[in-house]
Chains A and B, each alone.
Chain A
Amino acid sequence: MERYYQKEVECASREEMVALQNERLVAQVKHVWENVPYYRKKMEEKGLTPADIKGIEDLHKLPFLTKDDLRDAYPYGLLGMPLKDCVRIQSTSGTTGKRVVAFYTQHDVDLWEDCCARAIVAAGGTNEDVCQVAYGYGLFTGGPGLNGGSHKVGCLTLPMSSGNTDRQLQFMTDLGATIICCTPSYAEYLAESIHERGLRDQIKLKAGIFGAEAWSEEMRHDIEEKLGIKAYDIYGLTETSGPGVAFECNEQTGMHINEDHFIAEIIDPDTLEVLPEGSQGELVFTSITKEGFPLLRYRTKDITILSREKCSCGRTLVKMKKPMGRSDDMLIVKGVNVFPSQIEAVLLENGYPANYQIVVDRVNHSDTIEVLVEMTPEIFSDSLGKITEMEKNLVSALKAMLGIYAKVRLVDPKTIARSEGKAVRVIDKRKI
């Protein structure tokens, strides 16, 4: 029997959801108009007032917000409430230097934690579970979000934060963790360590909730097999709250977006036109319940597809496909679009581990791309011929996928840097 955290919302009819979104959007536009001069100015430039927004059919009229706006308005320009009503910030490092700082009122924290609770229940979590949260705690949203969601579900919560693998494994085995929440790359790392230490029989994990990084279906299968669990995807971004904006159900065919809090649109990133359902394009979110940091039409840069096809889990929330990769991650090398997730898929298909790093550089006015892969006992052998043969096959497979030549370099194990539990996947030396 499928269980839900907030069934009335998660399984609401389309009419009920639209009515709720209309009401909340109208109120949110008014709230922003009155409290966020930065956005009010953008609306005025388009000749808009809150009276022009009568419901979600008018959403497309509103101006967009981008990461550049966040940088321009740093730190308080997009704040929607007096600081005395805010209780928390979370922050993420921007690729362009300045950090994104998002503000939360207690109401915002509660709703965010509800979203995470929905994800945990969808992954089979109940108050009988022991939930190990191995996302980074602190400014990063991963730890605090899932921690709060786990409390709401009533799981025994292990607030481990990221890193310290010995301690992670000790608590996992001693306290019988049944749910693990972390980045997919750290899940892979834990799985490797469990395998190395022969602990597979001593772990009780049944589910994992993995997000904050792009990861492929191959990586999902790999983690599921190594840990004997079902691996659920979770999506979010600091700008809108954190993890839990969308979450996966048992069907594993996309993530249900919490539409009662976030209205999703897909736009053409070049023309900025809203695209019909089923089209691939850039995902745009409008927060309709956030008070402290109420972003309207925020361009996520994530390329994905929305689907309202009926889901076997009973939820009626629209689903988004796993993003192709954030367009922040998207590299343009020799004029070709390269997503790290494509490279990851090729690595796993060719028997390599998912611990990799992409180094892009420019030599003599020409782009170069190098993929660093950690050597593992599985692919190592005494035969130079065998190893170079595998390398050659990998280079061919990468060429077939990307359309350009990528050099492969095998490196020592555990040498690819990890920060906040997130592997550093891309180093673009052209920008340094």
Chain B
Amino acid sequence: MAINQITVFLENKAGALLNVTKLLSENKVDLRAINIAETTDYGLLRLITADNAAAEKVLKEENLIFTETPVLAVAIDDKPGALSNVLEILAKENIDVHYMYSIFGHQNGYAYMIMQLGETDKATALLKANSVVIAEPRDLQIG
């Protein structure tokens, strides 16, 4: 099942990122993963949170612009070549990986990669058919 990632628009200003992380922690919103894609003027802050509703309430109050995007949390075995193996499965079916980043720490003995793939449903079916484990929100204490 896909997980909803929150993407926030952040102008490149000193303290902008700190402001968001601080607000979230003050409101007891735990972060499972974080990633930034940036240009010289602004960045896209991508967040996997334990509580999207609470996070969005905080962001809205700050007048920040954000959007939700479905992503997959793909389990990667802790052995050499595991990530390449997953990417190969996707490449064979011409499924693009738009971007990916990792989840903090290990859960249930796995490292997880957050992947944004153009076709989420098709990718899910494909990976499962190839015995790749995809995390459910509850596996990551998201809910």
Binding site for B on A (CB under 8 A): 375-377, 380-384, 387-388, 409-415
Contact = CB atoms under 8 A, between A and B. Distances in A.
A382 B65 contact: no
28 contacts: A375-B9, A375-B42, A375-B65, A376-B65, A377-B65, A380-B9, A380-B66, A381-B7, A382-B5, A382-B46, A382-B69, A383-B98, A384-B37, A384-B39, A384-B44, A409-B41, A409-B42, A410-B9, A410-B11, A410-B41, A410-B42, A411-B11, A411-B42, A412-B11, A412-B63, A413-B64, A413-B65, A414-B63
Interface in B69-106: 69, 98
A411 B69 CA distance: 22
Contacts of A414: 63
Contacts of B9: 375, 380, 410, 412
B116 interface: yes
A376 B65 CA distance: 7
A383 B65 CA distance: 14
A384 B41 CA distance: 12
A382 B63 CA distance: 18
Interface string B1-24: 000010101110000000000000
Contacts of B5: 382
Contact of B44 (A376, A382, A411, A412): A382
Contact of A382 (B11, B39, B41, B116): B116
Contacts of B141: none
Contacts of B63: 412-414
B25 interface: no
B107 interface: no
Interface residues of B, number: 19
A388 B10 CA distance: 14
Interface of B: 5, 7, 9-11, 37, 39, 41-42, 44, 46, 63-67, 69, 98, 116
B67 A381 contact: yes
B7 A382 contact: yes
B64 A382 contact: no
A293 to B, nearest CB: 42
Contacts of A375: 9, 42, 65
Nearest to B68: A382
10 interchain residue pairs of minimum CB distance? A382-B69, A382-B7, A412-B11, A375-B9, A380-B65, A375-B65, A409-B41, A384-B37, A414-B63, A411-B11
Contacts of B7: 381-382
Contacts of A376: 65
B126 to A, nearest CB: 22
Contacts of A409: 41-42
Nearest to B43: A384
Contacts of B39: 384, 388
Given A382-B7, A382-B69, 12 more contacts: A376-B65, A377-B65, A377-B67, A382-B5, A382-B44, A384-B39, A388-B39, A410-B11, A410-B41, A412-B9, A412-B63, A413-B64
Contacts of A381: 7, 67
B109 to A, nearest CB: 30
A414 B9 CA distance: 13
Given A382-B46, A384-B39, A412 B64 contact: yes
A383 B42 CA distance: 13
B99 to A, nearest CB: 9
Nearest to A407: B41
A40 to B, nearest CB: 56
Nearest to B70: A382
Q: Which of B7, B11, B37, B67 has the most CB of A within 10 A?
A: B11
A55 B41 CA distance: 60
A387 B42 CA distance: 11
Contacts of B41: 409-410
A377 B9 CA distance: 10
A381 to B, nearest CB: 6
Contacts of B67: 377, 380-382
Contacts of B66: 380
A410 B66 CA distance: 14
Contacts of A413: 63-65
A287 to B, nearest CB: 44
Contacts of B46: 382
B43 to A, nearest CB: 9
Contacts of A380: 9, 65-67
A17 B72 CA distance: 75
A388 B38 CA distance: 11
A195 to B, nearest CB: 14
Nearest to A383: B98
Contacts of A411: 11, 42
A399 B72 CA distance: 41
Nearest to B40: A409
